[in-house]
Structure 1
Amino acid sequence: MKIYFANALFSQADFAFNAQLVARLRQASPALDIYLPQENAAINDKNAYADAKMIAQADTEKVRAADLMIAILDGPTIDVGVATEIGVAYALHIPILGLYTDSRRLGATNQQKLSALQQVAENQFHYLNLYTVGLIKLNGAVYTDQEALIDAVLKRV
């Protein structure tokens, strides 16, 4: 099964997280052929040069070849590149599994947090763009921890 792994890749934290989760997936099933964009030095070695068309063509080719997309939704907002990749995958009817681990999603039954929503600038919860999340949910699912995501991937192998 070919998987496209979509996440930001510009900070050391993102780079390490991506490598760690992809290593776990590869270890869980050798049948997985995972494209991790940060491993494609031709377009993502930031000491070198790749223009916008080169990046768009290379990554779109890999999305088109995928049987499944994993999209990381964490961050202040969904990474704009990830959101674009989600749109392409959705348009091509490629199933998408999202991972959303942000701790601010917790506390939905906490009355103080719910009441705070009535006050200006006191939202205690994190917001994800509903259009982008909707594309995922129309053709996949969103998980809140790595183990559940890995299990979902393995059920598709």
Structure 2
Amino acid sequence: MSVYIAHRLFAAHDRALAADLAERIAAEIGPERVFLPFCDTDEEGLIAEVKGRRLFELDRERLGHLDAMVALLHGPSLDDGVCMEIGYAAASGIAVVVLTTDFQTYSLTETGPRLEFPDPLVQALATRIVRVARLGAPVRTSAPDHSRFTAFHLRNTAQTSAALDAAVEALLDLPDRGPQLAGTPAVAGTPAVIGASVYVEASPYTARGGDHLARACADAGHTVVVPQRFTATDAVAGALADLTAVCSAARLLADVSGPETPPGAALLIGAAAASGIRIAAYQPRPSFSHAHGREPNWRNLMVQYAVESHLDNGEAVLAWLAAA
């Protein structure tokens, strides 16, 4: 079994959590079978002409040779790089175990069914979801230096440890059937139908009408498909329909506007990249991130380098649609 650990890279505590998980998995299957991004790509020490692109290439190469993925997702703002990797793996038929310690659940309406994540695509694409949402048991001690803050810290570390152990257990319990594991879509490599539709994914972060890109595509004479998961009676079934629609379309046009790429857009970009679908990212007002020794990135590098075109206005959208 070859395992890829997908995790948020930008803070020390996230990297440390992923390293702890990697250590536990390595103890079961061997360290050579575990890939830990940032660590195994030597992100701080790597020297390359275009470092961000090289990191993307290294991660994508490993994504193409997997048996399983464990993805760490916490809170309502889901890391776009992790979501892109989940979409890539799931569309390739790779089992994805998603681990969360979030104590919130989500719904699309006030009284609608509860979902584990804000976007139902995550729930639809996960082979297993490991959810450990409660603190560990209180630690009772009479030690004079044991403050309430120390006690609270210990309850959190106990919760984290239990979650990581549960994720390892779920990983080892996956069906031993190679990359095409039960419960995961297997659509990568499906050739796009000639003359097929353009799938348009709007951004929930933009104030502008969410259908402006769909209207532009339709006005240009293209058949347009839009997401079903936000209006379907069964959101998870709608999400699976969205995945199938993207991977059978000729193109994906995703609005990636916002503080980060919306999780659904990132997931679909990953799935489209795995399936050989043409992808454009629409972002009229890019915001750049800067990391030592790396070129400025206008989105998470896994999203930025997965797309073929970055479009910032209506004319650019029409030019991309008109291009062969």
Please state whether the residue corresponding to 2:83 is helix, strand or coil: helix
Q: Map 1:13-92 to 2 at 5 A.
A: 13-30=13-30, 33-42=33-42, 44-45=43-44, 50-92=50-92
Please state whether the residue corresponding to 1:37 is helix, strand or coil: coil
User: Greater CA radius of gyration, 1 or 2?
Assistant: 2
Contact 2:41 2:55 (8 Å CA) reproduced: no
Q: Could you report, residue by residue, the CA deviation over 1:56-90 in whole angstroms, capped at 9, with x for unpaired residues?
A: 21111111101001111114422100000011111
**Is residue 125 of structure 2 the alignment partner of residue 135 of structure 1?**
yes
2:70 and 2:32 map into 1 onto residues whose CA distance is: 12
Contact 1:72 1:99 (8 Å CA) reproduced: yes
Question: Which stretches of structure 1, 4 residues or longer, exceed 4 Å deviation after superposition?
Answer: 46-50
2:116 and 2:33 map into 1 onto residues whose CA distance is: 32
Aligned length: 137
Please state whether the residue corresponding to 1:104 is helix, strand or coil: coil
Identical-pair percentage: 26
2:171 and 2:12 map into 1 onto residues whose CA distance is: 25
* TM-score (normalizing by structure 2): 0.38
Between 145-154 and 46-55, the greater mean CA deviation after superposition? 46-55
2:29 and 2:117 map into 1 onto residues whose CA distance is: 33
Q: Which has the higher helix share?
A: 1
**CA RMSD between the two structures:** 2.7
